[in-house]
Structure 1
C-alpha cells in the first residue's frame, strides 16, 4: 500500500498462524496499514504444496476512505535465467501472447493488461503466475537499478492517486503453478569455494573520479592531504543555477584540481529558462575569473531533474540543439556531456542526440524501491543491462561516463525531496545510508567497478570526498556512530578501495571467470610493471572461500579489508601499504570483506 506521494506503509501484523504437514503449509494473518488519514485492514492466506504450487490471497477492507497511488500485489521476476528468455502472456481479455522478457531495458511497460505470465525455469518445466482481482502490468525495474521485472496492480494509465471507499472490500490473489517434472535439487552449498580464473586483456580500466557537491567543496579542502591519497583522475564539480549554488565554490574547485592534478568536469543544472546561453555566458565568465579550466562540461536543464512518466507531456523547455549549442558557445574548449544528472531511468526515457555531445552520462541509485542489504547488492546485476541499453541508443563511438554513484540518493526525481533518515536506518531514497561508512560499501564499490569496467565504460565516479556520500569522515549534521567518538582524522573502508582502484585507472583490464557468479565480485588489471592486481569482494554476510589458481606457485601479496581490522582501516590512510606475503590459492573472505592481491 502506497500513499499519494508513493510512500510505502509498513503493516502491523497480528493473529499470525502457521500450519504445516508433509504435503502442504498455510500461513494466515491480519495486517493493518494506517496513518492519521486512513486505515486499511487486510486478511491474508498463503498456501504452498509439495507439488510446487503457491497461492497468496488477500481480502482488504478500508475502514476509512483510503487515498492511494497503489494498493495490491507486486510480483517480481529475477534477471538470472529470465532476461532475454521466452515468456507467455495471458491478457485480461483472454488473448495469449508469445514474447520475451526484454534484454535491452524497456523505458515503457513491456506488457500490459496481464492476467498470467509463464516462463520456462528449466528445460521442460514452466512456472505460471496468475494474478486475480484487478488488471496488472509490468515495468522493467532495471531502469531504477532493481534486479527484477516488476508486475504490479492497477495500470499507471489510470488516474492516481485514487480512493478506496470506506466499507468496500477488495480481493486479490496471486497463484503460482509449476508444470513439468522438476529435476533433483542441485548441490548449492554455501561453503563450496568459488573459483576465480583470470583471463586475457579485455580492455582498459576506467578513470576513477569523485563527485564534489557544492556543500562539500570547503570540507574537501580542509582534508586535501587525504584527498591527494585518493588520487582521483577527475572531479565532477557541481553548479546548480536553480538556486545559484556553485558560483562561490569555483575557487575551491580550482584549488582541489590543482592539489590533486585531477581534471574538472563541471556538472551544470540550468535554471530552466528560455535563454540558456545568457546564464551560461555569465557562468563562463565567473569560471574564467576563478582561473578554473574545466576539461569537460555536462549540461542538464532544470526540467530534466524531475521524472516524467512515459506517455506524459514533457515540460516546455529549449530543444537539445539550443541547450547544447549554448554550452558549446559558452565553453568552447571543453568536452560537452549530456544525458541525465539523475538516473538511467530518465536517460532511457529522454535520449540525447549523440551527434550533439562528446559523452553521455547518468548516475545510479541502488535504493529507489528497496533498501535491504540483499536488494541493494543485487543492483550490481543491472549494470551490464544499463550499459548495453545505453550503447544501443547512443552508439559505440561516444564516450560513456557514469557517476557520481553511491549508496545514498543525491537527487529524488520522483518526489519533493529525499527521505529523512536521522536514525541511520536502511531507508529508500535517503541521502544518508549508514552502510556508506562500512565494509558493505567497500564491497559494493568493487562489484560496481568490476561491472562497469567489463562493460567498457570510459570513466566512473564514486561518491564525494566528505559528507553523506564521502570516503573521508567529517563531523556532520547527522549522527555517525563510532566515528563521532574519535578525536582524530578518520576514513571509511571505501577510502582504501577508491585509492587502490584509482591506481588502476587506464591499466589493461583482464577478463574474469567465476565458478559461481553472484557471491563474489572480482576485477583484475595488469599494471606497467607487468604485475597482476586482483580485487575480490564478498557480496554476502557469509564467509566465502575464493580459489584463485593464478596465485599458486607465484610470488604474491595481499591486503585484507575485514571486520576485525576496522579500527586500523579507519585510522590508517596508508593501509594499502601494509601488504603481507601469501602462498596457496585459497583465501577466506568474511562478511563483505575485500581483498587486494598482487601477483608478481
Structure 2
C-alpha cells in the first residue's frame, strides 16, 4: 500500500497532517504547528492549550492560511518563528506577518501585523488564546482598563462571555507544593480589547480569549490597505525550580485500565436517516439491521415542499429496519405549520416516539410551538413524548429560555468543528462532550436527555448572517467530512461513545444510515470522488464500531481509565460474562499500549487498521469473523502495538469465581 493510500484510509485525506515541532523557551515547552502554538507546558503542567491568529469572514467561516514564508531559529532554550501568510476566501483577501519569540526566561511574545489587499467584511481578525477546560474553578485575575477582577475560570458552562475588556490575565495552573511555589502565569494583550467565551458550549475543551469583543457591531468592513496589528505576551510569574537531576516529563507509556464492575446500562443508540431519496437495498437493510438501532432520527423542515414525501420515506425505512422513529421538526415560531404535520401523522398512523420542534431562525424550541404541539397531539390522539432544546449547538440550549416545564425530554446535537478542524482539535473535544451533558442535566433537572445527532461536521451554519453557498469544497455539501470513511472517524466514534454513554443520557443519535454522512456508502452512487474517495456499497470503518457495540446491546458499561485521552481512547462493555473492549489509537504514530483487563480469560483480538481496512470495507463478513488469541504479559495485562489510527477489538470472558 502506498503512502497516499495509507493516509486516505487513516484520515480520509491523501495529505498527512502538518508536522509538529517541539520548541523550548526556558522552562516552557511548546508545540509549533505551522503558525500556531499548541500545548504550552511549564514542566509537565499545561498552561495554555493554544495561541494562534484567526481570520473569520462575515458568516463566521474560518479562512485557512496559505504560508508564503516560514522560518524557525532555535537553540536548546530559546526560539524565534517568522512567517508570512495570506488568507483568501469568497470575499476575504488578507495578508499578514507573524513573529513568535520564546526567551530563556520563559517569556513568549507573539506579534502579528496584517492588512487587507481589498475591501471585505469580517467578524474577527486577530489572536485567539485557549486555556484548557481543566482550569475550571481555579483562580483568575482579569485586568481591564478600569479595574482588576478577582474570580475563577467558570465551573458551569458559561452561556455568555464571563469576562470582557481584557488587557491582561493572571491565573494559577497548579497549587503550591511542599517543594515549590504554585505555577502562576500572566498574559498581556496589546492592540485591541479582548474578551473570553466558554468554548465548552460547542464541545471545544477550552476557554477562548479573543478579539474583537462581540458587543461591538459585526460584521465590519475592513478597507483595502487597512492594518490589523496586535501582540500577546505570556510569562511565568512563579513556578517550582527543578532540582539537580530532576525532570518533569509526562509518562511515555500509554495505559488503558478496564474495570469488570458495571458502570451503568448502555443507553439507546439510534442513527439519523439518510438525506438522499434512494430506497434501501436488501443488502443495506441487512447491514443496518445488524446494528440493532433502537430508533431512527429525522429532521423535517416544514418549509420544504417535499417534507411529506421525506416523512413517508422515513416511515418506510423505519418499518424495514423494525425500529422506531424520532422527529426533529423545523417550523414557524408559533407552531402553526405543525397543524398539517399532525394531521398527516394521525391520518396515516405514523407512530412517532419522540418529537422536538425548533424555530427555523433561532434554532430553539419556543413556548408557543410546544403548546401548539401539545394541543395537536391531544386532538389527534397520538402517543409521543414532546421535547424542547436546540438543533444547533449546546450553546443555544444553554442560552435560550426554553419551555422545559412543558417538555418530557430535552435535546441538543454535538459536532466538533465549530472552531477548529484538525485531527487533534477534534480529539480534544471528546472529553467536553460529557461536560455538556452534566450541564444540560443541571439546566433541565429530571428530564430525560436525547443527545444528537452527533456528527463530524455541523449540519448547517447556525451563526451565518447571510445564506451560505450550499455547495463548497469541490461541490460537496459543506456538512460532509472525508474522515467519515476513515480509521480516524472510527477512533473518534469510540471516544465519543466512551464519554457519552456513561453520562446518564437516555438516547444517543449518531450520523446517518447511508451515504457520505453515514455508516456505509450507497450501493448506487454517482457523486464525484475527488473529495470523498469511497466505493459504492463499502462499509465505513466506524460501521464496525457500532456493529461491535450491537453485539452487547443488552450489556452494561465498564469504567475505563486512560493515561492520555488525546492519544488513546477506549470503550468497554459487559454482557453476562462476556467482555468487550475497543481500544483506539488517536495519533498519527505507531503506539504501544498497556491494556489492563483483570479477571479475564479466553481473550481474543481483532484489529482494524490500514492493513485490514480494505477487507473490513469490502468483505465485512470475513473481517468480522477473524480473531486471534491475545497473550498476556502477566495475568490481566496485555501489551498491544497499534498502527496509526488503528482500533483493536478485545473480547474475553470474566472468570467464574466459583
Distance 1:265 1:542 in 2: 40
Larger mean Cα displacement after TM superposition, 1-10 or 451-460 = 1-10
2:274, 2:514 within 8 Å by CA — same for their partners in 1?
no
Partner in structure 2 of residue 102 of structure 1? 154
Distance 1:198 1:56 in 2: 45
Distance 1:193 1:32 in 2: 39
Partner in structure 2 of residue 305 of structure 1? 363
Q: 2:344 aligns with which of 281, 286, 300?
A: 286
Distance 1:538 1:345 in 2: 30
1:45, 1:56 within 8 Å by CA — same for their partners in 2?
yes
CA, structure 1 residues 480+551, in 2 after alignment: closer, same or farther (shift >3 Å)?
farther
Distance 1:181 1:250 in 2: 61
The 5-angstrom pairing of residues 79-90 of structure 1 reads 79-80=133-134, 82-90=135-143
Measured after TM superposition, the shift of residue 12 of structure 1 is 4.5
2:259, 2:559 within 8 Å by CA — same for their partners in 1?
yes
1:74, 1:153 within 8 Å by CA — same for their partners in 2?
yes
Confirm whether residue 7 of structure 1 aligns to residue 55 of structure 2.
no
Partner in structure 2 of residue 368 of structure 1? 418
Partner in structure 2 of residue 408 of structure 1? 457
Distance 1:142 1:499 in 2: 30
Partner in structure 2 of residue 50 of structure 1? 104
Distance 1:444 1:566 in 2: 16
Q: TM-score, normalised by structure 2?
A: 0.81
Distance 2:436 2:228 in 1: 37
For residues 216-271 of structure 1, give each alpha carbon's deviation from its aligned partner in whole angstroms, at most 9, with x where no partner exists: 5624777212221222111113322011343113343333223322121122222x
Confirm whether residue 586 of structure 1 aligns to residue 639 of structure 2.
yes
Q: Unaligned stretches of 5+ in structure 2?
A: 1-54, 176-181, 633-637, 654-658
Measured after TM superposition, the shift of residue 358 of structure 1 is 1.5
Distance 1:520 1:97 in 2: 39
Q: TM-score, normalised by structure 1?
A: 0.89
Distance 2:282 2:457 in 1: 22
CA, structure 1 residues 298+7, in 2 after alignment: closer, same or farther (shift >3 Å)?
closer
Distance 1:525 1:402 in 2: 20
For residues 180-209 of structure 1, give each alpha carbon's deviation from its aligned partner in whole angstroms, at most 9, with x where no partner exists: 23454423354x231413152221111110
Higher strand share: 2
Partner in structure 1 of residue 617 of structure 2? 570
Q: Unaligned stretches of 5+ in structure 1?
A: 307-313
Distance 1:137 1:30 in 2: 26
Measured after TM superposition, the shift of residue 16 of structure 1 is 4.0
CA, structure 1 residues 200+541, in 2 after alignment: closer, same or farther (shift >3 Å)?
same
Confirm whether residue 465 of structure 1 aligns to residue 513 of structure 2.
yes
Partner in structure 1 of residue 249 of structure 2? 187
1:561, 1:594 within 8 Å by CA — same for their partners in 2?
yes
Partner in structure 2 of residue 230 of structure 1? 291
Confirm whether residue 532 of structure 1 aligns to residue 579 of structure 2.
yes
Distance 2:453 2:415 in 1: 10
Larger mean Cα displacement after TM superposition, 146-155 or 214-223 = 214-223
CA, structure 1 residues 87+581, in 2 after alignment: closer, same or farther (shift >3 Å)?
same
Q: CA RMSD in A?
A: 2.9
Distance 1:61 1:300 in 2: 41
Distance 2:583 2:367 in 1: 46
CA, structure 1 residues 536+22, in 2 after alignment: closer, same or farther (shift >3 Å)?
closer
SS in 2 for 1:255: helix
SS in 1 for 2:159: coil
CA, structure 1 residues 579+14, in 2 after alignment: closer, same or farther (shift >3 Å)?
closer
Confirm whether residue 341 of structure 1 aligns to residue 399 of structure 2.
no
For residues 335-371 of structure 1, give each alpha carbon's deviation from its aligned partner in whole angstroms, at most 9, with x where no partner exists: 2222122221221121523331111111111111111
Measured after TM superposition, the shift of residue 484 of structure 1 is 6.3
Distance 1:35 1:453 in 2: 39
